Amino acid sequence: MSEVEMSVEKHVFEADVAKLLHLMVHSVYSDKNVFLRELISNAADACEKLRYEAIVAPQLLGSDPAPRIMLTLDEENARLIVEDNGIGMSRDELVESLGTIARSGTRAFMERIEAAQSKDGAQLIGQFGVGFYSAFMVADNVDVVSRRAGSDTAWHWASDGKGSYTVSAAEPADAPARGTRITLHLMDDAKTYTSRWTVERIVKDQSGHVPVPISIIEKPGAEPAQVADGTALWTKQKSEISKEDYTDFYRGVAGQYDEPVLTVHFRAEGRHEYTALAFVPGSKPFDLFDPDRKGRMKLYVKRVFITDEAELLPRYLRFVRGLVDTADLPLNVSREMIQESPLLASIRKGLTNRVLTSIEKLAESEPENFAKLWENFGSVIKEGIYEDFERHTQLLALSRFRTASDDTPRGLSDYVKDMKDGQSAIYYLTGDNLAQLQGSPQLEGFRARGIEVLLLTDPVDSFWVTTAPDFEGKPFKSITQGAADLAGIAKRDSDAASSETSPAVAEFVTFAKATLGEAVSDVRASDRLTESAVCLVAPEHGPDRQLQKMLQGAGRIEGAAKPVLEINPGHALIAALAGSPAEDHAFREDAVKLLLDQARVLDGDKPEDPRAFAERLSRVFGRALQANR
């Protein structure tokens, strides 16, 4: 028996390790790939510790001063080897570091996990315990060989992660000159971790920006190939980064091949410190309106990828791509724990404010690029007016809208400046498409007076207008709801026909109201119509016509409120019908019901009873043909 074999020490885990690992895998980690991130993070920490110790003891670096992390893939033997030339560990450090979780027991481990969730909780990753044990998610045996910097002796730790581990002196020839080598004997379902493509993808996604270069050796004895250079773009000064550098990085982190229309790069300092690098894409992602789509901002801790599900921005900024890197969070807590962290709430608020401020500056300095941004993402940003009450005024000022007389989107500040004398509200019209809105009869009276009307075609428009009380003191008012109140605003054409109601028309309006009965809530003469004979509007209180249709279609309301039928008193058809013999009751009744169906069609609906509509139309045609004979 050799001296090395005689020095083997066997330690029995004091805790139930199988139960412990089950807790860790299901409560701390939700992705097996995370084991490689944790091992690389530990290796980077070891290199950083050596760098600091070498400040006062430079001899520790010897003839190998450059830090490195090597990943060796051994497909033939189903092994993955992670090696660094960092500080390394002595025998006592091996026992202490790799036995910490096991010796502390399951209950104590739970207490430490709970403590890590709090602001001042211990950072377990620094103890080389939780992160290291993630290796047992993919390996049924793990060997660790480590040599402390400045020491002549190397030590070997080995375990199957079930009940015990051994520590022994390592053969000098089998140990690194300095640092730690971890050999994972992979399970059958984890052999994919010997694939160059798999490992390189994980490294670039999760650890590509740790402060130590990472190389892959495709098989034992092969030359190493560097896959990460140990630098992180976001840690550099903005003056050191070119537009091309930003674009290349954006394409990597965003998974898109266009150019960003906006780049936001800043470092926050103070109570919480973090660095953010965010991009607004130059084109619309295909899944922008997927209801299950989440944001694409990645969270890093000390340049180590943690998650892309931390919700670092509100949903209405879900098109923004990029990352946030902080040193104020522990690396090894679960995504659920991170999401509840007060630090994340602070980062979310600061990042949201900075992104919106940058978009505002873009609107002022680069209107063409802002127009492109708004065309792609304006319909999403407007969700924030409805969802984010704290910032709804800022978002309203940022928003752009097409109007009835201008296809070029404009801001509300410009709209308010151009309001007519006597105009007290910001008028809008909602609908499914722009062409339909532009032909709406409800617009006629506003056009005749030169009053701008916002044309809102996005589904969210019907909702935010109900929650935004005003803009610069001017309330929002739907032109399809309630009275138009246009009588006090002069028409641009002084020769325009008068909208005053004659006694005959007033009588016809009364007749129409009696005829239609419960089909409408009211019939009245209109001051909003100048060309069309009739239109429908919603009652003064409740949702406007478009929102009512949406809520009814979604099953949110059982029945729609009865509409108001407005009749144009200056229209030739109305004048002719008003002058028809009062005793011709059947004809006048058919005419009134046809007018209601006409208004429904103009509003984008169908006649309520198509068969009755066709019969009435036939009778009216027949009467007209008979009169012309």
Query: Would the annotation count 105 as a binding residue?
Result: yes
Half-sphere exposure of 492 (CA within 13 A, CB side): 11
Which has more confidence, 179 or 132?
Answer: 179
Chain segment 90-123, per-residue pLDDT in tens: 999 988 777 655 443 344 544 554 454 443 332 3
User: Could you tell me where the DSSP H helices lie in 227-329?
Assistant: 243-254
Query: Would the annotation count 104 as a binding residue?
Result: yes
Whole-angstrom CA distances from 118 to 231, 272, 273, 340 are 30, 15, 17, 10
The listed CATH number (3.20.20.140, 3.30.565.10, 3.30.200.20, 3.40.50.10860) that belongs to domain 3-228: 3.30.565.10
> Which pLDDT score, from 0 to 100, does residue 520 have?
93
Type and span of the H or E element at 524: strand 522-525
Chain segment 361-410, per-residue pLDDT in tens: 999 999 999 999 999 999 999 999 999 999 999 999 999 999 998 888 99
177 SS3 class: coil
> Which pLDDT score, from 0 to 100, does residue 487 have?
75
Lowest mean pLDDT among 176-180, 190-194, 207-211, 280-284: 207-211
Distance of alpha carbon 528 from alpha carbon 483, whole angstroms = 9
User: Structure tokens of 483?
Assistant: 């009275």
Are the C-beta atoms of 607 and 613 separated by less than 8 Å? yes
Query: Would the annotation count 131 as a binding residue?
Result: yes
> Which pLDDT score, from 0 to 100, does residue 165 have?
86
Query: Would the annotation count 615 as a binding residue?
Result: no
Query: Would the annotation count 56 as a binding residue?
Result: no
Whole-angstrom CA distances from 216 to 67, 144, 227 are 15, 19, 7
What confidence category does residue 257 fall into, taking pLDDT thresholds of 50, 70 and 90? confident
72 SS3 class: strand
The residue-averaged pLDDT of 221-243 equals: 92
Query: Would the annotation count 542 as a binding residue?
Result: no
> Is pLDDT of 549 > 80?
no
Tell me 33's DSSP state. T
Query: Would the annotation count 132 as a binding residue?
Result: yes
Q: Which residues of 432-462 are buried (b: 16+ CB within 10 A; e: fewer)?
A: eeeeebeebbbbbbbbbbebbbbbbbebbbb
Of 366, 377, 312, 369, the residue nearest 338 (C-alpha): 312
pTM for the full predicted model: 0.74
Q: Which residues of 205-232 are buried (b: 16+ CB within 10 A; e: fewer)?
A: ebbbbbbbbbbbbbeeeeeeeebbebeb
The residue-averaged pLDDT of 426-440 equals: 90
User: Structure tokens of 408?
Assistant: 């070029």
**Most confident residue range from 286-290, 352-356, 487-491:** 352-356
Phi/psi class of residue 606: alpha, beta or left (left: φ > 0; alpha: ψ in -120 to 50)? beta
> Which pLDDT score, from 0 to 100, does residue 415 have?
95
The residue-averaged pLDDT of 486-509 equals: 76
> Which pLDDT score, from 0 to 100, does residue 150 have?
94
Query: Would the annotation count 129 as a binding residue?
Result: yes
| Mean pLDDT, all residues of the chain | 85
The listed CATH number (3.10.580.10, 3.30.1280.10, 3.30.230.80, 3.40.630.40) that belongs to domain 233-375: 3.30.230.80
Query: Would the annotation count 180 as a binding residue?
Result: yes
> Which pLDDT score, from 0 to 100, does residue 198 have?
96
> Which pLDDT score, from 0 to 100, does residue 623 have?
84
User: Amino acid identity, residue 104?
Assistant: S
What CATH number belongs to 499-629? 1.20.120.790
Query: Would the annotation count 89 as a binding residue?
Result: yes
Q: What does the domain layout of the chain look like in residue ranges?
A: 3-228, 233-375, 399-496, 499-629
Chain segment 69-95, per-residue pLDDT in tens: 999 999 999 999 999 999 999 999 988
Query: Would the annotation count 286 as a binding residue?
Result: no
Arch. (CATH architecture) of 399-496: 3-Layer(aba) Sandwich (3.40)
108 SS3 class: helix
Distance of alpha carbon 39 from alpha carbon 90, whole angstroms = 18
The residue-averaged pLDDT of 326-337 equals: 71
Four-residue CA torsion sign, 430, 433, 434, 440: negative
Query: Would the annotation count 187 as a binding residue?
Result: no
